[in-house]
Structure 1
Amino acid sequence: MKLTVVGGGSTYTPELIDGFARLRDTLPVEELVLVDPAADRLELVGGLARRIFARQGHPGTITTTADLDAGVAGADAVLLQLRVGGQAARQQDETWPLECGCVGQETTGAGGLAKALRTVPVVLDIAERVRRANPDAWIIDFTNPVGIVTRALLHAGHRAVGLCNVAIGLQRKFAALLDVAPHEVHLDHVGLNHLTWETGVRLGGPGGEDVLPGLLAEHGGAIAEDLRLPRPLLDRLGVVPSYYLRYYYAHDQVVSELREGPSRAAQVAAMERELLTMYGDPELAEKPALLAQRGGAYYSEAAVDLAAALLGGGGSPYQVVNTLNRGTLPFLPDDAVIEVQAAVDANGAVPLPAAPLDPLYAGLVANVTAYEELALDAALRGGRERVFRALLAHPLIGQYAYAETLTDQLIAHNREHLAWA
């Protein structure tokens, strides 16, 4: 089995390598290729990756290359974890929207649109090259904004599934609170990528007992603190929103906080410099503790589980993924991409039936789905007017004066990445 990681020079990669090493019985990788144009980073990450495999006794080989076509040749699955423009572009995404009093964030609002415009054309080019190399290869997308990128891949006919670590993180937290093994916790997880709610927490599988009411009653304070939302709000909702919902439910408060402190991009950039120094230590043969602060917790477990299921070698039968709606949420188009529990096997991901979604959440899901459709149109066809329409449609922007200003700022800050600008 050959797997390729595009964006293999990311500081995330040792988390993924550690998962491949620990879970080799679930996903027996024989050859792993890390692809990245940044040769200096790739050398450091690749060296640590090989040492992790050696320390844990994994028999697979790890190679590194800047040649995408060589890297994906013969791959059974390709994982995408790239960041077009690097942390410098992320810093801009998190900064200029604040000038209009709008959230500055790399996947939500105007910053998220900027990232989509930079990313979708690059990902589609990579996917076409993967298809030429092996039309049966699966593409697992961890590249943000996952919902829009996965929608682009699926609309272009690629064998693709989107992956996010939010659900597995909540599953692990709930399992710890309930004092049960993570695999015993099944989430009724519904919505869009970075716009989801846990409407049920079931023990033992999709038809298991829903323990969410008791979980909120006993541990609502701790859950609310993790989400940085007030406990009374969770009690009123009766569900657990993704922490990304804070950008919607506490927008002005978040903007105020973002204006006061250093950006997440600046924090991550500093962390990455320290991590890369650590990775260069020839004695280091495990992922450092600092990596847990980088983000992407449990990404490796989720990626292994998904790849194993898609490649027919095992994996959990039900997983939270990003895939086509196909009537699951009847108020959305069938070709919208939703993030829900799905049955996953070698044929792909099929969403499990979902209970009717409360209008309190369905309205926001429908709104953001419409924005994502316009965002993808702007990413594929370009043009100032398409960017404006997407920004005007976004529920965190909405006002025409803001949309006009943000359109000009987005184009100015991303011109080098926009072929049409």
Structure 2
Amino acid sequence: MKLTLIGGGGFRVPQIFEALAAKDASARVTELCLYDLGPERLEVMRSVLLQLAGSTPRPPRITVETDLDTALRGASFVFSAMRVGGAAGRIADERVALDLGVLGQETVGPGGLAYALRTLPAARRLAERVAAVAPEAWVINFTNPAGMVTEAMRAALGDRVIGICDTPIGLMRRAVHAVGSTPEAVDFDYVGLNHLGWLRRISVDGQDRLPALLADNTALGQMEEARLMGFDWVRALGAVPNEYLYYYYFQREATERIRASAETRGEFLQRQQAGFYEQAHLYPNSALELWQQTKHDREASYMAESRPEEEHNGRQESDVDGGGYQGVALDLMGGLTHGTSATMILNVANRGTVPELPDDAVIEVACDVRAGGVQARKVAPVRADMLGLLQQVKAVEQMTIAASLHRDPVLAWRALAAHPLVDSVTVAQKLLDTYRQVIPGVAAAFD
């Protein structure tokens, strides 16, 4: 079975390879095709993977490709992990917003909308080429902003594109551990959008263990989300929020901390990863060792820009172990291929799951995965405070998709102005104007 990885020169590619090559991998891939527009990055990743292959039980054959149709032809699965505009685009996403006094973050707020505006045209082109060249392939989308990108790709691919994110999976892993159970023994209710959701129930033997978890300081201390946002607030919510909700619930604090930091997350990653690619290109025989060192620093500092200075590298080992989106993707592949029944949190079409949202909206909920497709599980009614935020952000996402599709800057302005983290129509206009001036991909979105 052939798997094509769009963004094959990206830093996280070896994690996917490790999952594919594991003895207990849920899907057997015989060829991993790396597609990227950067030949040097492709060669660095090829060096890392070849060194990894020697210590893995059943490594797939590695191919590299810079022609999209060739890369897609014959693929059973396509992973989309592109970063249009690279690290420079991400830095601009963050800095432009911060300079105007609003949150500067990669996927949340105006930075996420700028990221979407330059990414959606490429995502649509990819979807169209998959539909033409590999119509039976499943597309698993990691590309951020994952909800918007998945929703845009559905126009060409329908249900054959599914969005994934490791954040809610990590939340669930910690919650299962905190209640002293196993994934197979729990039932749960999780609802939201990508990077905006809540765990509202976790049941064992028909009994909801969430109230007890929220009441227990020791158990709650195992939840990174509770440590980040405070035990009192999580208890007040009566739910465990996705960690990205920190940016909504603590907008002022997050913005001030990021502005006070020596560098944004994008600037940190550009400095760190530029060093890795440069060194790995010069010393290809040490590429794997260099990658492993860089990976540890990257994971340990996740969301560090939003924490107090003394906690910048304070993630617990349990917060970063257990695998990431590569494990989610492999489990999804296994379910779709072999029919192994599984319950996963995925980005899929709403279709009445949350009646107050449009049917065609992509939401993030628990789904049953079986051979040939996924089915969203029913969720409990969504409380008004949560629903209001979901409706507002989804409206912003759909306006952004429409602005990209129709190349309409007025719709883009409306989307920015409607976002709950943008506090002024005037600021929204300045954001759009500045993004168009400094990010070529945003300017090109309206040409």
Q: What is the letter of the counterpart of residue 68 of structure 1?
A: L
What's the CA shift for 1:357? 0.9
The aligned residue for residue 404 of structure 1 is: 429
Q: What is the letter of the counterpart of residue 28 of structure 2?
A: P
Q: What is the letter of the counterpart of residue 83 of structure 2?
A: R
The aligned residue for residue 211 of structure 1 is: 209
Question: Which TM-score applies when normalising by structure 2?
Answer: 0.88
Question: Which TM-score applies when normalising by structure 1?
Answer: 0.93
Q: The residue matched to 2:345 in structure 1 has which SS?
A: strand
Whole-Å Cα distance in 2 between the matches of residues 182 and 334 of structure 1?
29
Q: What is the letter of the counterpart of residue 143 of structure 2?
A: T
**Residues 368-407 of structure 1 mapped to structure 2, 5 A cutoff:** 368-407=393-432
Q: Residues 214, 134 of structure 1: CA spacing in aligned structure 2 closer, same or farther, 3 A cutoff?
A: same
Q: Residues 309, 376 of structure 1: CA spacing in aligned structure 2 closer, same or farther, 3 A cutoff?
A: same
What's the CA shift for 1:174? 2.3
Q: What is the letter of the counterpart of residue 386 of structure 2?
A: Y
Conserved 8 A contact 2:47-2:287: no
What's the CA shift for 1:294? 3.1
The aligned residue for residue 357 of structure 2 is: 332
The aligned residue for residue 145 of structure 2 is: 145
The aligned residue for residue 170 of structure 1 is: 171
Whole-Å Cα distance in 2 between the matches of residues 326 and 60 of structure 1?
37
The structure 2 residue matched to 1:298, chosen from 324, 336, 347, is 324
Output the aligned Cα RMSD. Answer: 2.1
What's the CA shift for 1:380? 1.1
Segment of structure 1 superposing worse, 359-368 or 165-174: 165-174
Conserved 8 A contact 2:84-2:119: yes
**Residues 61-210 of structure 1 mapped to structure 2, 5 A cutoff:** 61-158=61-158, 159-203=160-204, 208-210=206-208
Whole-Å Cα distance in 1 between the matches of residues 73 and 85 of structure 2?
25
What's the CA shift for 1:309? 1.6
Whole-Å Cα distance in 1 between the matches of residues 52 and 286 of structure 2?
11
1:395-417 CA distances to partner (integer Å, 9 max, x unpaired)? 11142122121121121122445
Conserved 8 A contact 1:325-1:334: yes
Whole-Å Cα distance in 2 between the matches of residues 162 and 228 of structure 1?
26
What's the CA shift for 1:129? 1.2
Conserved 8 A contact 2:23-2:57: no
Moved over 6 A (4+): none
1:354-382 CA distances to partner (integer Å, 9 max, x unpaired)? 00011110110011111111010111112
Task: Indicate yes or no: 2:346 matched with 1:321.
Answer: yes
Q: What is the letter of the counterpart of residue 8 of structure 1?
A: G
What's the CA shift for 1:223? 2.5
Conserved 8 A contact 2:166-2:325: yes
Structure 2, gaps ≥5 residues long:
300-319
The aligned residue for residue 36 of structure 1 is: 36
The aligned residue for residue 292 of structure 2 is: 288
1:35-57 CA distances to partner (integer Å, 9 max, x unpaired)? 11111111111121132233112
What's the CA shift for 1:214? 1.8
Percent identity of the aligned residues? 36
Structure 1, gaps ≥5 residues long:
none
How many residues in Structure 1 have an aligned counterpart in Structure 2? 417
Conserved 8 A contact 1:171-1:186: no
The structure 2 residue matched to 1:351, chosen from 372, 376, 390, is 376
Q: What is the letter of the counterpart of residue 417 of structure 2?
A: L
Q: Residues 44, 316 of structure 1: CA spacing in aligned structure 2 closer, same or farther, 3 A cutoff?
A: farther
The aligned residue for residue 334 of structure 2 is: 308
